[in-house]
Each structure stands twice: as C-alpha cells, then as structure tokens.
C-alpha cells in the first residue's frame, strides 16, 4: 500500500517539497507519494483530525505553522522546542523534529564555509533564526548577534543561545567584524514587494565574509547580488531547502540521501523551472 506524506502551510502552492520527496521516492523505488495541503492556522486542528483517515505517515510544516503545531504533538525533540518542520506519525502518536538547522549547516559546509570561530550576524528574529543560532553556538561560533525589528523578540532568542541582540537599525555597527551574515527575513522574496531600504551595509563587510540568504525565489536577491558584486562568497536558500528535505526523508523512510542524490534533485528542480 502506498505510504502518504505531505507538506502543510499557507500559502503552499509554491512549495518545492513535493518535487524533492517524489524524486527521492523514484530514486529509491519506494511506494510513497508526497503532496501539498493548504492549511492555515484556523484549519490546523481539522487537518490533524484527518491524519488517520488519510493514512498520512508523516508531514512537513512551513509558514505559518512551525510553532502552532507544537501543542498538538505527543513529543518534540529537544532541538525543535521552538520550531517544528517535520512530524512523524507512528501508532497514532505525532513526534516533532526540525531539520532546518541541519539543512542550513550542510549547505553552508558545501560552499566551504562554517560557523566555527566566526563572528555571525543574523538579520531577523524568527523561529528559524533561533534554531540556526543555537546550532551555531553548539558548533563553536566566536560571537553571535541577532538583529531584529522588535528588540524584545531578538533578546528572547539571544538569551537562549548565548548570543547578543540589537535592533535592526544598528545593522551597520556589526558589519566590519562580521564573518558570516545570514538574512532570515522575507525581505527580497518574490511576491512580497518588500526589500531592504538600503544595501550599503554590505560594503562594510570584510573581504573574507560569507553572505547567506534563506530565500530561494528569486535565486539571487538584491542582497546576494550586492554581496557577489563585491566578490564575497554567497549562498541562497535552495541548498538548505533540499538538505532539510533530505533529513526529513531520513526521518520518514530511514534513508539519508547522498550528495549524488542532491545533484539529481537539483537538476530535476531546475528542469521544473524552465
């Protein structure tokens, strides 16, 4: 019998998760299917009641439900206490995990960058920032700064992962010593109509800095383009997206896809964009 998996969130039509997982099912000859369900906060409880009837064995969660899902879970892994993106359904129990930090770090390492001994600045104070910040702290980052529009929110995240917090208006002050700059906000994302008011702060970064954006649509935001033109190493969010899906696939199917699988999935995604 075909095992069913899915991703939930809203909006969801743009999600690349079905393409990634269904490609993996083909590569590993698994009798599984992966779909996308549009689920908003008001629909979440109704969706969860239908899991058994729909014979769903696991699902991924995207915005805006990564925190909302937590009270409904029977267990949550320690690393995912603030944000869950993967749920495994076993014997009527829902177990929550997060593969976002793993996905980002694997992608970061693939371009020859790392957290270790780096001064890291995160632009944004959302749930994913908290996960990445905690992971960077565990991986021996030298200093971590979280910059947020709402200072108390940034401070709350910072106190949980050995970091400091400041307002987004203080951005320029942290650039000269920054070795890794990561944008976790939607600024510059296709369809939002919002972007940074100015990108002059990019010019204040050291020549050795790495600049990352969790956005993958467009493939190069104005933020990354400015950094690339300066000759800085850059990375968009597509690698993170694929690797977090691979780690979720491992939770679902017990198989961790390879670097070779990554190239095959990437090729499939590029074909779909043409």
Q: Rounded to 5 degrees, what are φ and ψ at 164?
A: -115, 160
For residue 203, the 8-state DSSP code is G
Count the residues in the chain: 274
| Cβ contact 87:94 at 8 Å | yes
Whether the upstream peptide bond of residue 160 has omega within 30° of 0, thus cis, is: no
C-alpha distances out from residue 22 to 34, 91, 100, 248, Å? 6, 24, 19, 13
Bridge partner residues of 164 (DSSP): 145
- With CA atoms as reference, report the closest residue to 129 among 166, 158, 97, 167: 158
- 82 CB-near residues (< 8 Å, 6+ apart): 67, 127, 130, 131, 160
Tell me how far apart the alpha carbons of residues 103 and 66 are, in angstroms, rounded to a whole number.
16
Sign of the alpha-carbon torsion through 67, 75, 241, 177: positive
Catalytic residues: 66
Chain centre distance of CA 167: 22
Tell me how far apart the alpha carbons of residues 249 and 53 are, in angstroms, rounded to a whole number.
22
Q: Rounded to 5 degrees, what are φ and ψ at 242?
A: -70, -45
């Amino acid at each position: 019998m075909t095992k069913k998996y899915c991703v939930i969130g809203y909006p969801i039509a743009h999600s690349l998760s079905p393409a990634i997982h269904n490609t993996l099912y083909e590569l590993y000859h698994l009798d599984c299917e992966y779909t996308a369900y549009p689920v908003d906060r008001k629909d979440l409880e109704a969706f969860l009641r239908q899991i058994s009837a729909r014979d769903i064995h696991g699902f991924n969660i995207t915005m805006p439900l990564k925190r909302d899902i937590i009270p409904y879970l029977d267990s949550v892994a320690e690393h995912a206490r603030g944000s869950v993106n993967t749920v495994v359904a076993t014997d009527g129990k829902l177990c929550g995990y997060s593969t976002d930090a793993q996905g980002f770090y694997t992608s970061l390492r693939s371009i020859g960058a790392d957290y270790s001994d780096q001064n890291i600045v995160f632009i944004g104070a959302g749930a994913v920032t908290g996960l990445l910040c905690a992971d960077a702290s565990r991986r021996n980052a030298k200093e971590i700064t979280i910059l947020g529009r709402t200072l108390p929110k940034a401070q709350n995240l910072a106190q949980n992962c050995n970091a400091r917090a400041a307002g987004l208006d203080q951005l320029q002050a942290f650039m000269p010593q920054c070795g890794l700059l990561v944008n976790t906000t939607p600024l510059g994302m296709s369809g939002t109509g919002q972007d940074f008011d100015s990108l002059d702060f990019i010019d204040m970064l050291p020549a050795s800095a790495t600049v990352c954006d969790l956005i993958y649509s467009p493939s190069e935001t104005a933020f990354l383009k400015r950094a690339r033109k300066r000759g800085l190493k850059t990375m968009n969010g597509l690698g993170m997206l694929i690797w977090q899906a691979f780690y979720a696939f491992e939770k679902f199917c017990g198989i961790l896809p390879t670097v070779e699988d990554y190239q095959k999935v990437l090729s499939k995604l590029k074909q779909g964009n043409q």
